[in-house]
């Protein structure tokens, strides 16, 4: 962005600490009156150096570190990381463990969408929605807590399996929570679709076209809201997703309203997936039998090689590129987060909108700066 | 379009420039490319082989071989094949052409690779640090010989 300003223009710095921001990033917006002429995103306020940290930790210690990339996506981050190691070492995950992973990752999708939607609603001035979604998210987190022992940073996956089995009576608890959650999601949809003020602020605002989104490398709900049915769970199935019945939720419009609608539909689809898994889940071991892999994996040396493994995180495509040199620590890990490209859509999308719409557009992207900076 | 036909098409179009091309599995392919031709190869991948999705771009440091590998992981929205393409640069002066004209979102990946590894990108629209403070430019923290403490940036803090 040009730093020079013309007559009747000014530069407004939004952030890094700003109530509308989901994390610390700075948006430098050049304004002419109320209209954004140009803008630029600056990041780096919470750069944690996770890629360097991972090079200095053993493979098992890395599981805890990748949780901290973004706490809402903790389980899908673990899945991508653990999947890399399993591909390199050639570990086969038993079927029961795969089902448990799918159940937990779909739970993490539901709670991430609930929080993202609630935050976004509070940005556009719909603060009571935030209270509703946080209330329902708490029930989901309690269910996850009963399996993993933690609400947000789980450290639940292990190489070749999962740490714990599902607890007693889990299916009944899920049934009870989903009964309430289904009603709540229907209620959110009704609130969103009947509020004329909300609709006039979101319909046709911040339209991302499919061509631009593909060019920028966007994935996840912002891309699916433009009509592109791109979902790693379908295109490159991992775990048992190939055996499950679910559809990829898409919308045509590509505006703020469509992005929220995609998230609402995805939560319903995730609940459907979890119910299928709970019906189909076979009994069996949690770790491959006859191997040293288990709850307390010894220090492992992974065969030299390199791998790129990607999974569908709540916000889109999460990929890990891992290079191993045969030692007990990864030689290089590159984290490809879904929000990194999504945040780059802001400058082209904000061109020409009014200041009040910045919040709606940035919020509907459901960005996570912690994951962008790493 | 499957992995086999993609590799065959790529190697027949660029017999000199692309080497060590291989198929790892149905959906994973690898290839190495000469640094001077990386933009041409990327353009061909995007326009003719529908590799329109740059998953990520980064680098790996190999002090033993005195090389830095720039890694492009390129996927597609149409087919599930992913190509891991590498360009090998000397460690003292790693310079390579930027692929921003082809892949728009390479912009941030290249800025990050520049500040973490010191790979200089020619014709990049705005090559400046992204996640690190400007004073750390020249430290190249993700290189293997980075010492961290006691570095001049760290000294300033104490």
User: What residues contact residue A263 under an 8 Å CB cut-off, 6+ apart?
Assistant: A113, A116, A117, A221, A366
pLDDT number for residue A320:
92
Shortest distance, CA B21 to any CA of chain A (angstroms): 15
Q: What is the mean pLDDT of residues B54-79?
A: 90
ipTM of model: 0.87
pLDDT number for residue A110:
92
Binned at pLDDT 50, 70 and 90, residue A265 comes out as very high
Domain range for residue A69?
Answer: 50-373
pTM of the full structure: 0.90
Count of CB contacts below 8 A, A vs B?
Answer: 67
User: How many domains is chain A built from?
Assistant: 1
Distance (Å, whole) CA A255 – CA A222:
9
Q: Which two tokens stand for residue A115?
A: 């929080």
Q: What is the mean pLDDT of residues A325-350?
A: 89
Domain-embedded: residue A9? no
Chain B residues touching residue A309 (CB < 8 angstroms): none
Beta strands in chain A (DSSP E): 9-14, 26-32, 35-42, 157-158, 161-162, 305-313, 316-324, 332-336
Region of residue A331 (left: phi > 0; alpha: psi -120 to 50; beta: else):
alpha
Q: Which two tokens stand for residue A200?
A: 């006039």
Binned at pLDDT 50, 70 and 90, residue B158 comes out as very low
Q: Regarding predicted confidence, which is higher, A15 or B28?
A: B28
Binned at pLDDT 50, 70 and 90, residue B155 comes out as low
Domain-embedded: residue A213? yes
In this predicted model, what pLDDT tens digit does every residue of A38-48 receive, in sequence order?
A: 888 888 888 88
Domain-embedded: residue A328? yes
B101 touches chain A (CB under 8 A): no
Chain B residues touching residue A216 (CB < 8 angstroms): 104-105
Query: Contacts for A18-25 with beta carbons within 8 Å, 24 or more apart?
Result: A20/A123, A20/A358, A20/A359, A20/A362, A20/A363, A21/A362, A21/A369, A22/A116, A22/A119, A22/A363, A22/A366, A22/A367, A22/A368, A22/A369, A23/A367, A23/A368, A23/A369, A23/A370, A23/A372, A24/A369, A25/A343, A25/A367, A25/A369, A25/A372
Q: What is the mean pLDDT of residues A284-296?
A: 82
| 3-state secondary structure at position A185 | helix
Please determine, looking at this structure, whether the domain spanning B3-157 carries the CATH number 3.30.460.80: yes
Q: Which two tokens stand for residue B59?
A: 């680098």
A56 φ/ψ angles, rounded to the nearest 5 degrees = -110, 10
B35 touches chain A (CB under 8 A): no
Domain-embedded: residue A58? yes
In this predicted model, what pLDDT tens digit does every residue of A218-263 receive, in sequence order?
A: 888 999 999 888 888 888 888 888 888 888 988 888 888 899 999 9
Q: What is the mean pLDDT of residues B70-80?
A: 89
Mean pLDDT estimate for chain A: 88
pLDDT number for residue A299:
76
Distance (Å, whole) CA A22 – CA A329:
33
Partner residue opposite A344 with nearest CB, options B27, B77, B108:
B108
Q: What is the mean pLDDT of residues A296-304?
A: 81
Chain B residues touching residue A321 (CB < 8 angstroms): 56, 58, 71, 73, 84
Binned at pLDDT 50, 70 and 90, residue B14 comes out as confident
Q: What CATH number is associated with residue A243?
A: 1.10.645.10
Shortest distance, CA A319 to any CA of chain B (angstroms): 8
pLDDT number for residue A311:
92
DSSP A23: S
For A:28-57, CB contacts with B below 8 A are: 43-44, 47, 49, 51-52
Percent of chain A topping pLDDT 90: 21
* The 3-state secondary structure of B88-147, one letter per residue: EEECCCCEEECCCCCCCCHHHHHHHHHHHHCCEEECCCCCCCCCCCHHHCCCCCCCCCCC
Binned at pLDDT 50, 70 and 90, residue A186 comes out as very high
pLDDT number for residue A81:
92
In this predicted model, what pLDDT tens digit does every residue of A149-179 receive, in sequence order?
A: 888 888 888 888 888 888 888 989 999 999 9
In this predicted model, what pLDDT tens digit does every residue of A99-125 receive, in sequence order?
A: 999 999 999 999 999 998 888 888 888
- A334–B58 C-beta distance less than 8 A: yes
Chain B residues touching residue A332 (CB < 8 angstroms): 60-61
Find the helix packing angle between B3-13 and B38-48, rounded to 10°: 130
Domain-embedded: residue A18? no
Q: What is the mean pLDDT of residues B85-108?
A: 89
B80 touches chain A (CB under 8 A): yes
Q: Which two tokens stand for residue A221?
A: 């709900």
Partner residue opposite A321 with nearest CB, options B58, B61, B80:
B58
Q: How many CA atoms lie within 13 A of B49 on its CB side?
A: 25
- A331–B60 C-beta distance less than 8 A: yes
Q: Which two tokens stand for residue B137?
A: 């430019």
């Amino acid at each position: 962005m040009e730093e020079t300003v013309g007559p009747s223009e000014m530069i407004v710095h939004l952030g890094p600490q700003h109530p509308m921001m989901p994390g610390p990033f700075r948006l430098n917006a050049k304004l002419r009156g109320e209209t954004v002429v140009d803008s630029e995103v600056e990041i780096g306020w919470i750069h944690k150096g996770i890629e360097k940290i991972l090079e200095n930790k053993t493979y098992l210690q890395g599981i805890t570190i990748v949780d901290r990339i973004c706490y809402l996506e903790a389980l899908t981050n673990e899945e991508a990381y653990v999947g890399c190691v399993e591909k390199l070492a050639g570990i086969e995950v038993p079927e029961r463990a795969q089902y448990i992973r799918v159940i937990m990752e779909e739970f993490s999708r539901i709670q991430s969408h609930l929080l993202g939607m609630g935050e976004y609603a509070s940005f556009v001035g719909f603060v009571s929605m935030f209270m509703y979604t946080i209330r329902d998210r708490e029930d989901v987190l309690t269910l996850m807590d009963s399996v993993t022992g933690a609400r947000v940073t789980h450290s639940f996956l292990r190489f070749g399996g999962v740490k714990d089995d599902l607890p007693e009576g889990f299916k009944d608890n899920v049934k009870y929570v989903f009964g309430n959650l289904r009603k709540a999601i229907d209620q959110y949809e009704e609130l969103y679709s009947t509020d004329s003020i909300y609709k006039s602020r979101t319909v046709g605002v911040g339209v991302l076209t499919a061509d631009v989104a593909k060019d920028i490398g966007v994935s996840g709900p912002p891309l699916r809201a433009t009509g592109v049915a791109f979902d790693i769970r379908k295109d490159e199935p991992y775990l048992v997703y190939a055996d499950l019945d679910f559809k990829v939720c898409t919308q045509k419009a590509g505006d703020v309203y469509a992005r929220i609608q995609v998230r609402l539909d995805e939560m319903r689809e995730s609940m459907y997936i979890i119910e299928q898994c709970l019906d189909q889940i076979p009994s069996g071991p949690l770790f491959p039998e006859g191997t040293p892999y288990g709850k307390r994996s010894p220090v492992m040396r992974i065969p030299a090689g390199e791998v790129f493994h990607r999974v569908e995180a709540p916000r889109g495509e999460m990929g890990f590129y891992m290079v191993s040199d045969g030692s007990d620590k990864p030689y290089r890990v590159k984290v490809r987060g879904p929000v990194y490209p999504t945040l780059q859509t802001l400058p082209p999308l904000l061109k020409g909108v009014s200041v009040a719409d910045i919040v709606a557009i940035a919020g509907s992207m459901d960005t996570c700066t912690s994951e962008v900076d790493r | 379009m499957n992995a086999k036909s993609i590799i065959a098409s790529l190697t027949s179009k660029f017999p000199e420039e692309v080497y060590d091309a291989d198929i790892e599995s149905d959906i994973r392919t690898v290839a190495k490319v000469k640094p001077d031709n990386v933009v041409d190869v990327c353009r061909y991948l995007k326009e003719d082989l529908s590799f329109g999705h740059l998953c990520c771009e980064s680098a790996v440091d190999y002090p033993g071989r005195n090389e830095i590998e720039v890694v492009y992981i390129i996927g597609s929205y149409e087919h599930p094949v992913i190509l891991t393409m590498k360009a090998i640069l000397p460690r003292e002066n790693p310079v390579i052409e930027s692929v921003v004209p082809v892949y728009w979102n390479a912009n941030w990946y290249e800025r990050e690779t520049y500040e973490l590894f010191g790979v200089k990108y020619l014709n990049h629209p705005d090559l400046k640090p992204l996640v690190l403070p400007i004073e750390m430019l020249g430290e190249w923290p993700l290189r293997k010989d980075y010492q961290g403490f006691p570095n001049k940036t760290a000294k300033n803090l104490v």
